[in-house]
């Protein structure tokens, strides 16, 4: 009932939309009333309304049963999980609450710096920042270089000074909260992949 499948109960499963099939898969996993439910990418392929409906249903289930979600979508994990385990190449790297994991990464905050004038060469920026930041990634476009540093904002003044001394001109500095994707990148040294 909570997955809104009643209206399609007379249809063959193969004729249902992808979102309806996903909801049917979840319902089938629950038929025998298990105490532990394992769901793989439960929000994949769903339209926004279905995604919200499925998320709310899974959260209501988690109050009564153990729900284990597997996902590559860090936003999904952050919204739905009480605890997160990050596994890379079959090895458990860390397991904790999302809040604790984010607080341990860059003190919970990430400085992002856009360089809009002066040098905009990623290789030069890399040389200037060697040994300074734990991890630095850049995205280069035609007019600016964006630096995303996974280190404490306490080091921000020294970080900016090093950039200026190397010939870079910071245009905009933002401080944002750490995400689970930031945690993943810090632990594995690379972005999410399929």
pTM metric for this prediction = 0.70
For domain 6-70, give the CATH superfamily.
P-loop containing nucleotide triphosphate hydrolases (3.40.50.300)
Mean pLDDT score, 84-100: 94
Each residue's pLDDT tens digit, 11-70: 888 888 877 888 888 888 888 999 999 999 988 888 888 888 888 889 999 999 999 999
Residue where the block lists tokens 């810090």: 186
CATH 3.30.70.1150 domain locations along the chain? 106-177
CATH 3.40.50.300 domain locations along the chain? 6-70
Would you state the torsion angle of the CA atoms of residues 160, 163, 165, 168, taken in this order, to the nearest 10 degrees?
-120
- Classify domain 106-177 at the CATH topology level: Alpha-Beta Plaits (3.30.70)
The more confidently predicted of residues 107 and 180 is: 180
- The 8-class DSSP code of residue 35 comes to S
pLDDT at 194 over 80: no
Mean pLDDT score, 157-178: 82
Each residue's pLDDT tens digit, 114-161: 776 655 566 777 777 766 655 555 565 545 565 666 666 777 888 788
126: tokens are: 């890399």
Chain Cα centroid distance, residue 47: 19
């Amino acid at each position: 009932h909570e997955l809104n499948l009643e209206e399609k109960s007379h249809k063959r499963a193969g004729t249902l939309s992808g979102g309806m099939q996903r909801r049917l898969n979840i319902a089938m996993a629950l038929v025998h009333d298990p105490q532990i439910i394992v769901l793989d990418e439960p929000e994949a392929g769903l339209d926004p309304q279905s995604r919200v409906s499925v998320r709310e249903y899974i959260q209501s289930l988690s109050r009564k049963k153990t729900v284990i979600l597997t996902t590559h979508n860090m936003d999904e994990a952050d919204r739905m999980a009480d605890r997160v385990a990050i596994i890379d190449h079959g090895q458990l790297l860390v397991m904790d609450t999302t809040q604790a994991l984010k607080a341990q990464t860059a003190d919970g905050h990430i400085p992002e710096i856009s360089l809009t004038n002066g040098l905009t060469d990623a290789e030069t920026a890399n040389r200037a920042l060697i040994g300074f930041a734990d991890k630095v990634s850049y995205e280069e476009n035609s007019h600016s270089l964006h630096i995303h540093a996974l280190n404490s904002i306490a080091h921000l003044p020294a970080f900016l000074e090093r950039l200026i001394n190397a010939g870079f001109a910071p245009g905009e500095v933002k401080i944002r909260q750490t995400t689970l994707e930031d945690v993943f990148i810090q632990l594995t040294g690379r972005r999410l992949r399929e």
